[in-house]
Amino acid sequence: MNEIWREILYPLGYLSALAFGARFVLQWLMSEWKGKSVVPRAFWQLSLVGNCLLVLHSLIQMQFHVCLVQGCNAIISWRNLNLMQLPERRVKLHTVIELFSLTCVSIVLLFLIEGYYSPDGVVWFRVPLSLEVTSNTPVGLGWHLLGFLGLILFSSRFWVQWWEAEREQSSQLGLSFWWLSLSGGLISLVYFARIDDWVNLIGPLFGLIPYLRNIMLVRASEKH
């Protein structure tokens, strides 16, 4: 893809940030209303929309780590919606695992295909091109590895949540989910601020207050 088009299409990523921000605001407000941490169906619907949009954005900007993580998160969002249905309409666990495998393979192939037609070859990690960013300071591999670590930690919350949801056969957000959100969000915030990636920075930034508040609500609920 032409570099100019990468810059022009960068703002599309803000749509995913908007969906991610909206899901936690909605979840936070409903939790305050209920007096405990809850997870509405709309939370996973907005998550799925945000996941798909960010997969597209990271594919355009050639950010493999973001694309892979969000692709897997999209399957988890879909699975939680599936678990909210009647038992007879839920798919088997092996089907979910097959979808994970298919998603990972598809993303790798897309990057290989994109690299095949690119004069620079396959690029797995790069700073996104944005009309808003004027700095050309190179970012070392160490920063990208730190960002990958933050993304893994940040996204592990959904893997932990998924495991608990499969075990209980119901969608829920436990205390471990919110602690992983807070710690992973802080690391991701530092990384995305370093590479001037505002699309991926907005989510961790505006999620800090809901993360902290939900930890408080879960602890208060456990005491009662």
The per-residue pLDDT for range 64-79, each reduced to its tens digit, is: 888 888 899 999 999 9
The predicted structure's pLDDT at residue 121: 66
Residue with tokens 């994109």: 114
C-alpha count within 13 angstroms, C-beta hemisphere, residue 165: 26
User: Tens digit of pLDDT for each residue in 87-132?
Assistant: 888 999 999 999 999 999 999 998 888 777 766 666 666 655 554 5
At residue 135, does pLDDT exceed 70? no
- Compute the average pLDDT of residues 7-13: 77
User: What pLDDT does residue 191 have?
Assistant: 86
Q: What is the pLDDT of residue 122?
A: 66
Confidence band of 134 (pLDDT split at 50, 70, 90) = very low
Close Cβ partners of 193 (under 8 Å, ≥ 6 residues apart): 201
- The pLDDT value recorded for residue 55 is 92
pLDDT of residue 49: 95
Could you report the per-residue pLDDT of 140-192, keeping only the tens digit for each?
A: 778 878 887 887 887 788 889 999 899 888 888 888 899 998 888 888 888 88
Burial label, 2 (beta-carbon count in 10 A; 0-12, 13-18, 19+): exposed
Dihedral angle, C-alpha 34, 39, 41, 46, nearest 10 °: 120
pTM for this model (two decimals)? 0.80
Q: What is the pLDDT of residues 189-210, one digit of tens each?
A: 888 888 777 777 777 777 788 8
Cβ atoms of 131 and 10 within 8 Å: the answer is: yes
Q: List the one residue out of 200, 109, 198, 107 whose CA is nearest residue 151.
A: 200
Beta strands in the chain (DSSP E): none
The Cα 23–Cα 79 span in angstroms is 17
Q: Confidence class of residue 13 from pLDDT cuts 50, 70 and 90?
A: confident
Instruction: Give the residue with greater pLDDT, 1 vs 116.
Output: 116
Structure tokens at 125: 């990690």
- Supply the DSSP symbol for 35: T
The pLDDT of residue 98: 95
172 residue type, one letter:
Q
At residue 80, the pLDDT reads 95
- pLDDT value for 137: 56
Report the alpha-carbon distance of residue 222 to residue 15 in Å, rounded: 36
Tell me what pLDDT residue 131 has.
45
Residue type, 151: L
